Amino acid sequence: MKFLPYSFNISIQSLIRDKWINLLSMVTIAAGLFIISLAFFLAYNIDMATEKLPEKFTMLLYLEDNLQKEYTDNIINSVKKNKAVLSVKYISKEDALKELKSALKNSNYIFEGLEENPLPDALELKLRKDLVGPETAKKISEEVLKIKGVSEVDYGETFLSTIQYIRIGIKTIGIIMAIILSAGIIFVCYSTVKMLYYRRQEEFETFKLLGATRGFIRAPFIFEGAIIGLGGGLLSLFGMYVFYYMVILKFSVTIPFFKMILFPSDLFLVLPFLGMLLGIAGAALALGRLKY
């Protein structure tokens, strides 16, 4: 490993000697990483926008009329036994009516001539945030309907599944894109290093005859891959910042919607490291197992 400073020098010389090829692959890598970042940026914002929604999710259990207080407590207790249930709130028909009236303050005439409260007593369930989902809601609704005294269950079925599909879909697309583009980036490094290696292969045969280890021959290329990847990563990071300041911030002055967009600047700091890792991976693959 004592030869590493020398290897580093050699890789710098090679970077300068073949500056156009290296610059080209650096820009290509930057473009790939930039697209990955954009996809991540989009997925991140959709994720953030939809993350809070499950917290607001509630299920309403309508109870049969004129249940005794003890019986209602019984129902509450058996509902609470379910592990997915976070809280249960009892809403009497009077409370429900009051709430309805305040919501429809300006149309009070609707209630004129109303002699009896038409609303049922109800229980409002909140679910644990991490367990909110169409399957859980469906299971709970099936279970509570079996309890005597519960007449009906109401929850936003389509709302829930739509959110879930969006979230899963965005994540899947994002991950698939990241994998494909990462493979592309590795390939760019792979072919660059492979080409540079083949051009000097004869030289390396002599290196081996003089007693060079695989590491000695490989190290400059690994450095080169790392530097190209790092350069690409830095370029793409720069691109993301330019994109944010020139596009998002500019538009948010005139279009309020843009103000809601989050820019996870800390997360994008991994780009240079990601680029470097992909560059090293490409270089290592290109060299393979050197034969003696």
Partner 1 sequence: MIHFHNVTKEYENQTALRNITFSVGKGEMVFITGHSGSGKTTLLKLIYLAEKIDKGSISVSGWELEKLAESGIPFLRRNIGIVFQDFKLLANRNVFENVALALRIRGMGEKEIKGKVFEALKTVYLRHKTDSYPKALSGGEQQKVVIARAIVADPTVLLADEPTGNLDPDTASGIIRTFKEINACGTTVLIATHNRELFRNTGRRVIKLDAGNLIGEELG
Q: Which residues bind partner 1 (CB under 8 A)?
A: 1-3, 6, 203, 206-214, 216, 291-292
Q: Which is nearer to partner 1, 63 or 287 (CB)?
A: 287
DSSP assignment letter at 59: E
Q: Which is nearer to partner 1, 3 or 71 (CB)?
A: 3
* Rounded least distance, CB 202 to partner 1, Å: 9
Q: Which is nearer to partner 1, 2 or 146 (CB)?
A: 2
* Rounded least distance, CB 164 to partner 1, Å: 53
Q: How far, in Å, are 77, 142, 143 from residue 147 at the CA level?
A: 11, 9, 7
Q: Which is nearer to partner 1, 68 or 206 (CB)?
A: 206
Q: Which is nearer to partner 1, 19 or 129 (CB)?
A: 19
Alpha helices for 127-260 (secondary structure H): 134-146, 157-199, 201-209, 214-243, 249-254
* Rounded least distance, CB 8 to partner 1, Å: 13
Give the integer Cα–Cα distance in Å for 82 and 90: 17
* Rounded least distance, CB 10 to partner 1, Å: 9
Give the integer Cα–Cα distance in Å for 276 and 278: 5
* Rounded least distance, CB 264 to partner 1, Å: 43
Nearest-5° angle of CA 48, CA 164, CA 271? Answer: 40
Phi-psi region of 192 (alpha: psi -120 to 50; beta: other; left: phi over 0): alpha
For residue 182 the two structure tokens come to 């990462």
Contact 48, 166 (CB under 8 A): no
